[in-house]
Amino acid sequence: MSSFERDGKGLSDAHETVPKPRIQTLSDMIFGLALSIGAATLLTQKPGSETDVAYSLLSFGFAFFILGLVWLRYSRITSVLPVESTGIVAANMLLLFFVSVEPYLFNLMTISGYAPSLGQLDSASTTTLYAFDLGALQLVLAYFIHELTVEDRRLIPRELLRGYRLQMNATIIVAAIFLLSSLPMFWSVVIIQSPTVPLRYVMWGGILFVNAGRRLDERLRGAKSRPS
Contact yes or no for 80/153 (Cβ under 8 A): no
Report d(CA 56, CA 12) in Å as an integer: 48
Burial of 169 per CB tally in 10 Å (0-12, 13-18, 19+): middle
- Give the pLDDT of residue 222: 60
Task: Tell me which amino acid residue 78 is.
Answer: T
Tens of pLDDT along the chain (228 residues) come to 444 344 444 434 444 556 677 777 888 889 888 888 877 777 766 666 777 777 778 888 888 888 988 998 888 888 888 766 788 888 999 999 999 999 899 888 877 765 554 446 788 889 999 999 999 999 999 999 998 888 777 778 887 888 888 889 999 999 999 999 999 999 888 887 666 788 998 999 888 888 777 777 767 666 555 444
Sequence ranges of the domains in the chain: 3-180
- H or E segment at 190? strand 190-192
Contact yes or no for 207/174 (Cβ under 8 A): yes
- Tally the C-alpha atoms within 13 A of residue 46's C-alpha that lie toward its C-beta: 2
Spatial neighbors of 13 by CB under 8 A, at least 6 apart, are: 86
Spatial neighbors of 133 by CB under 8 A, at least 6 apart, are: 98, 101, 102, 105
pTM given for the model: 0.79
Task: Tell me which amino acid residue 157 is.
Answer: P
